[in-house]
């Protein structure tokens, strides 16, 4: 039996609309650069970033998922680090 489509969908609440909008701006170009490998849709829902991945093979869906989740993780950690540095410099 052949699998017609793999669909992975999930949301991450980042707690801030401003941060969520920044993440969306960073993720959309990456999502649009997927050609012939499947599709990635990134949406903003309040303070959440929602990602939907569609592919014809499990391995392709996993690769797309891992790539986008790691990018999101890296951006969030960078924002947290910058927040810490700004807090330290401002004496907060």
Residues 25-53 have pLDDT tens digits of: 888 888 887 777 788 999 999 999 999 99
The answer to whether residue 1 is domain-embedded is: no
At 92 the pLDDT is: 58
CA gap 68, 24 in Å, rounded: 11
What domain range is 33 assigned to? 6-90
Neighbours of 85 (CB within 10 A): 10
Mean of the per-residue pLDDT values of the chain? 86
Q: What is the pTM of this model?
A: 0.76
Looking at the domain assignment, is residue 86 inside a domain? yes
92 vs 35: which has the higher pLDDT = 35
Q: Which residue has the higher pLDDT, 33 or 1?
A: 33
CATH of the domain at 54: 3.30.310.50
């Amino acid at each position: 039996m052949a699998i017609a489509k793999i669909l992975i969908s999930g949301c991450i609440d980042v707690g801030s609309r401003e941060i969520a909008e920044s993440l969306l701006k960073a993720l959309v170009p990456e999502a649009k650069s997927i050609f012939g490998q499947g599709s990635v849709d990134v949406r903003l829902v309040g303070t959440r970033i929602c990602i939907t991945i569609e592919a014809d093979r499990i391995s392709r869906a996993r690769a797309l998922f891992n790539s986008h989740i790691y990018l999101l993780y890296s951006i969030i950690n960078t924002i947290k680090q910058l927040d810490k540095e700004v807090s330290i410099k401002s004496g907060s």
